[in-house]
Chain A
Amino acid sequence: MIADSTTTVQQNALLAALIGLPALGAVANGALAVQTARTRTHAPDAPAPVGLASMLGVGSIAAAFIVAVLLFVQLTSGAGAVTAHFGDWLVFPTEAGRTPLIAWDFTFDRLSSVLALVITGVGTLIHVFSVGYMNDDPGFARYFAYLNLFVAFMLVLVLGASYPVLFIGWEGVGLCSYLLIGFWFGESANADAGRKAFVVNRIGDMGLIAAMCILFTQTGHLDFAGAHAGLSGMSTGLITAIGLALLLGCAGKSAQVPLYLWLPDAMAGPTPVSALIHAATMVTAGVYLVVRASPIFAASPTASLAVALIGAITALFAASIALRQWDIKKVLAYSTVSQLGYMFMGVGVGAYTAGVFHLVTHAFFKALLFLGAGAVIHAMHAAYHHAHEHGDAQDLRNMGGLRAAMPATGALMWIATLAIVGIPPLAGFFSKDEILVSVFARAMGSPLASASLMGLSGQVVLFVVLGFGTITALLTAIYMTRLALLAFEGPGRSSTSVQQGVHDAHGTLLWPLVALGILTVAGGWLNLPALIPIGPVGVLEHWLEPIVGETTRRLAPIAALPHEQELWITGGAVINAIFGIGIALWLWRRWAPVDAHHATPGTGFGGLLERAYDVDAAVQRGLVGPVLAFAKRVLWGTVDRGVDGALTGGGGGLARAAQWVSAQVQVGDASRYVWVVALGVLGTLAALAWRS
């Protein structure tokens, strides 16, 4: 990297601290968790070390945020990207000598700086929220150990300067996700959800590994700079193959069709986890990877179109499911899947800045929505507990009228709802609008429009993407307004004693929400369009120009979009959103409330949506069942037990043979050993005599 010479020792140390602080927090909290577990073996009711654990947990992330800000400030003052080399890992001998296949190279450049700020910034807020949310959980220290470890791995992911280092972070966050989804592993459903996330992600990881294999064999490099430089000599078909393999990996991590199945189940984890991992950061790693690998996608319009199409399908598909979910977190989960689809649309059409922009604003408002939902669940849970009733604290049918009891949370949730719906001037409006405008501009004429995907002309694909995006925006307005209405408006639907027990969030449960609320309102100013110059225009775009400027231009529209056309799209999007809110108001104004206990499953299309198109059941029947049967009968019954029997298993074949041999030879009789040695000597002598 060019910036090597300018990277100072101090910057190296800062970069090491950025990753090291959360990692140290994880180790310290892990030690604390182990210690607590040991204490509990003789004092089962020993309290969790809440104070120390939260100090370590929040402190390490907040410190990392400060470090990120320091590095960012240096970057804004004109310094080049910070690239640090912390040694080599795998050293592969090649003809040119021993070249590192994997080097511990990290880079804090303009792209990773944005991500690092979001991860540590939003991460700090969510850590603070967690202190209140997990306060009486016996696994408090373990929770913070996992959460800190997650941040450390997430930073490895975005700061790694090569595909393998990115992959280590990629797998690390997957591990933490698994651990946190199954955090309450006492209930088997939670553990199952964790396992599902793990297994589905493996499918995607195969794609990422395949992409790395092709890149390495073709270019001999796996660092971003070297591998991308080596693309120039490659055939387009091969580049498309790499792009599609990467897309598979990104689809797994970012929950795109068809690998989205794990994300709704991932809501089994604590709500702050859903906010941090399954909304704001980890699931956007796929978007980040597409942007980071933009030289690959820009060189293959076909692969780019595939990204955009997958994103559009996912966006529409998930948004329609969100329409009929009753669990407040499930609505938000499908909404996340849908919004990730939006980001894929953006980066798929080569509007990399727009994709990153939506990633950032989405991190703000979706984290706010999840934390708000967490505050609601926390309050409902406490109220049920207080009233000695049993009810589902996450079911929207049990809520209603909560704004009266929780005014601050209610107001913030409404702001976030309007932001995701796309009402100006909230953050979501600008980022979503930019994606739609970008898609439209490219559909009107660009290298993408003249390319083709599976026989379809690129232009058709782009208009399909645009159409799906527009419908998705309408559906988003409907389901989000529905959520807010069902939770906060109308009469309360739980018993009076429960309703009286609901109290608004305060302290650590509230002020992270306020901070995120401010970001949700102001986030749009990061990248204002030229059309609405209410501040500096295109800040993020200028910022990312050195990273993605060239690749963006390779897929950019032939002619700039006329202002009036852009105005039409923007205006249309706003009207679309308002229309959606109207539909939701009209639909749920006269909705006859049903008790969650006595609710009948929906029928017809509505029921299908409620059951998420029965995809899970179909996968279970068509894929999981046969695979399990095959695994059980053939792999386990024949292969595994055969090998196991041959190798180990106490009395099994090889082990038994080994025991028999030992019993014959290893008799413990030194005089017999002497004979064996003598035979060996004779053999050696004979071998050398024969040679000479």
Chain B
Amino acid sequence: MNAPNVSGMLMLILPEVVLSVGAMITLLLGVSGADAGRSHRAAMAALATAVVGVVLAIGMLTGAPLAPGTTFIANDGFRWTLTALLCAGTGAAVVLTEAYDRRAGVARAETPALLLLAATGMTLLTAARDLMVVFLGIELMSLATYVLVAMHRTSARAAEAAVKYFLLGAFSTAFLLYGIALVYGATGSMQLEGIGSAVASGAKLPGLLMAGVALMLVGLAFKVAAAPFHLWTPDVYDGAPTAVTGFMAASVKAAAFAIFLRITAEAFAPLLADWHPVLWVLAAATMVIGNVLALGQQQIKRVLAYSSIAHAGYLLVAVVSFSAEGATALVFYLVAYTLATMGAFAVLVALSDGTDRPLVRQDLAGLRERHPWLALAFAVCVLSMLGFPLAGGVGFFAKWQVLQAALQASVPQQTLAIVLVLSSVVSGGYYLGLIAPAFMQSPVPAARPIPAPPTGVRAIAIACAVVVLVLGVLPSSLTRLAQRSAPSAFAGGPTVATTIQP
């Protein structure tokens, strides 16, 4: 692979350039001009930047055939599809955070700027093929997110969440970094491709390599909130401003899974037989723990936090399946999950009263009467997370794809499929428990009057629900897109997968 010239190089990281420049413009807009509309102008600039990111990614997907990337930046369908998804998620998060912050009286330009910086890290993660780039992406994303959690400086709950997130995040990053160092020591390469070929030809220091792989897996498992590395999730999701929680649950998780899949596919494929049992256990434990513990929660954000842990478990099943189908299922699932999560959190943002009081089920009571369309959108999005057919739209097919991938892996993963289905049944217990008060209880007078939800928030909730429903009727278009987006490592078929133990 020839090293491209400078302009070609810049073209390869164009979305990251656009997003980071957009972040700086956003910051500048936040300190210039009249005081009155500053934060709003900044948010609009950030939204525009995110939209440009989406357009750019879609343009790359639909335009001329993609040129081969370099050994450290990928230029494939996987990258561009997820970049489009992450930029769209960021755009939605900009709108939601602005509405939420405005209601709390703390709207400022730093929030959209930080969202864009996080997005820069996230999009970098979809493309990274070099462990340095991986680390750069993860830290850029994480640092921005730590600050986003703490943006409501007067809220003790948010501050607590941010400190916890930061401490545990730093702790896990240490593992990741140490793992990277060990892998480099064992293989002599930082590039996923190089690691892969070094491993395939037999590493000289197998113990070192294994330790490195183990520590990297821990670091990644922490980022995607897989059990038992999930403990930070409920506390952080609960304490963070609701709109930021939505961003973390949807986009941050999607970006972490993007790099998780690429590393396992491109670098660790020859070691599949070794790490497969570890991820198998993590997937099963994550599904069960997420779904069962969600049952005991009273606060909506904690329920959704455990729900997001459970979804991480489902997504791990797709990773464990380790095939083109698994990668297809992962991309499909991330799209469906982002839509449903953003839609549901948009409704929660619409319902928040501007304080950091935790939302409980009672806050949803009578939503059908107060905001019928939002209630419907909420029901659709939650049913989509449940994987309910038709009314839950695309969520059903997301689970279907993961199940198919699991059952069609070169060694079929029946046990994981069974755990997935049974734990999904349990999830009905808390998902329906969220919908029921919205439709079957009368509204309770709020302690503080809740202003009418802004148009942008309503639009996001309803648009997400509509897309969920439409894709639920016509999933084939998304399936085709997801098929085109499987990383090229799977193109030759899962030759190594024959060594998997069921």
Interface string of A662-692 (1 = CB under 8 A from B): 1001101010011011011100110111011
Chain B interface size range: 35 or more
Q: In the bound complex, how far is the Cα of B297 from the Cα of A656, in angstroms?
A: 10
Say yes or no: is A647 at the interface (Cβ < 8 Å to chain B): yes
Q: Which residues of A contact B194 (CB under 8 A)?
A: none
- With contacts A91-B479, A654-B295, A662-B293 known, is A692 near B206, CB below 8 A? yes
How far is the CB of A270 from the nearest CB of chain B, in Å?
24
Say yes or no: is B2 at the interface (Cβ < 8 Å to chain A): no
How far is the CB of A659 from the nearest CB of chain B, in Å?
4
Say yes or no: is A385 at the interface (Cβ < 8 Å to chain B): no
Q: Which residues of A contact B207 (CB under 8 A)?
A: 689, 692
How far is the CB of B474 from the nearest CB of chain A, in Å?
4
- With contacts A666-B231, A687-B277 known, is A93 near B211, CB below 8 A? no
Do the beta carbons of A673 and B476 come within 8 Å of each other? Answer: no
Q: In the bound complex, how far is the Cα of B477 from the Cα of A658, in angstroms?
A: 39
Query: Which residue on chain B has the smallest CB distance to residue A656?
Result: B296
- With contacts A93-B404, A687-B278 known, is A681 near B218, CB below 8 A? yes
Size of A's binding interface in residues, CB under 8 A: 42
Of the candidates A38, A87, A662, A684, the one whose C-beta lies within 8 Å of that of B296 is A662
Interface string of B223-238 (1 = CB under 8 A from A): 0000011011011000
Stretch in B29-37, B53-61, B167-175 with 4+ CB within 8 Å of A: B167-175
Do the beta carbons of A647 and B429 come within 8 Å of each other? Answer: yes
- With contacts A688-B275, A689-B210 known, is A655 near B295, CB below 8 A? yes
Of the candidates A41, A89, A661, A674, the one whose C-beta lies within 8 Å of that of B168 is A674
- With contacts A38-B372, A89-B476, A677-B229 known, is A647 near B295, CB below 8 A? yes
Of the candidates B167, B215, B475, the one whose C-beta lies within 8 Å of that of A670 is B167
How far is the CB of B161 from the nearest CB of chain A, in Å?
10
Say yes or no: is B426 at the interface (Cβ < 8 Å to chain A): yes
Do the beta carbons of A688 and B210 come within 8 Å of each other? Answer: yes
Say yes or no: is B348 at the interface (Cβ < 8 Å to chain A): no
Do the beta carbons of A666 and B408 come within 8 Å of each other? Answer: no
Q: Which residues of B contact A38 (CB under 8 A)?
A: 372
Q: Which residues of A contact B476 (CB under 8 A)?
A: 87-89, 91, 100
Q: Which residues of A contact B213 (CB under 8 A)?
A: 688
Query: Which residue on chain B has the smallest CB distance to residue A658?
Result: B296
Main secondary structure on chain B at its contact with chain A? Answer: helix
Say yes or no: is B322 at the interface (Cβ < 8 Å to chain A): no
Interfacial residues of chain A within 20-58, with CB under 8 A of chain B in the complex: 34, 37-38, 41
Say yes or no: is A135 at the interface (Cβ < 8 Å to chain B): no
Q: In the bound complex, how far is the Cα of B235 from the Cα of A668, in angstroms?
A: 7
How far is the CB of B496 from the nearest CB of chain A, in Å?
15
How far is the CB of A74 from the nearest CB of chain B, in Å?
26
Q: In the bound complex, how far is the Cα of B278 from the Cα of A689, in angstroms?
A: 11
Query: Which residue on chain A has the smallest CB distance to residue B285?
Result: A680
Of the candidates A100, A681, A691, the one whose C-beta lies within 8 Å of that of B273 is A691
- With contacts A685-B214, A689-B210 known, is A677 near B474, CB below 8 A? no
Q: Which residues of B contact A37 (CB under 8 A)?
A: 372
Of the candidates A648, A676, A692, the one whose C-beta lies within 8 Å of that of B433 is A648
Q: Which residues of B contact A692 (CB under 8 A)?
A: 206-207, 210, 274
Query: Which residue on chain A has the smallest CB distance to residue B278?
Result: A687
Do the beta carbons of A685 and B372 come within 8 Å of each other? Answer: no
Do the beta carbons of B429 and A648 come within 8 Å of each other? Answer: yes
Q: In the bound complex, how far is the Cα of B369 from the Cα of A93, in angstroms?
A: 44
Interface string of B109-153 (1 = CB under 8 A from A): 000000000000000000000000000000000000000000000
Do the beta carbons of B235 and A666 come within 8 Å of each other? Answer: yes
Say yes or no: is A588 at the interface (Cβ < 8 Å to chain B): no
- With contacts A688-B278, A689-B210 known, is A661 near B215, CB below 8 A? no
Q: Which residues of B contact A674 (CB under 8 A)?
A: 167-168, 171
Q: In the bound complex, how far is the Cα of B175 from the Cα of A34, in angstroms?
A: 54
Do the beta carbons of A104 and B235 come within 8 Å of each other? Answer: no
Do the beta carbons of B168 and A86 come within 8 Å of each other? Answer: no
Of the candidates A100, A104, A677, the one whose C-beta lies within 8 Å of that of B228 is A677
Q: In the bound complex, how far is the Cα of B482 from the Cα of A91, in angstroms?
A: 14
Interfacial residues of chain B within 385-407, with CB under 8 A of chain A in the complex: 400, 404
Q: Which residues of A contact B475 (CB under 8 A)?
A: 87-89, 91
Say yes or no: is B463 at the interface (Cβ < 8 Å to chain A): no
Do the beta carbons of A670 and B218 come within 8 Å of each other? Answer: no
Q: In the bound complex, how far is the Cα of B369 from the Cα of A101, in angstroms?
A: 39
How far is the CB of A596 from the nearest CB of chain B, in Å?
40
Do the beta carbons of A677 and B172 come within 8 Å of each other? Answer: yes
- With contacts A93-B408, A681-B218 known, is A87 near B474, CB below 8 A? yes
- With contacts A87-B476, A662-B296, A681-B218 known, is A688 near B211, CB below 8 A? yes
Show 16 A/B contacts (Cβ-Cβ < 8 Å), sorted by A: A86-B474, A90-B400, A91-B475, A647-B426, A655-B429, A661-B296, A670-B164, A673-B168, A674-B168, A677-B168, A677-B172, A677-B222, A677-B229, A677-B231, A684-B217, A688-B214
The 3 closest A-B pairs by CB, nearest first: A658-B296, A659-B296, A88-B476
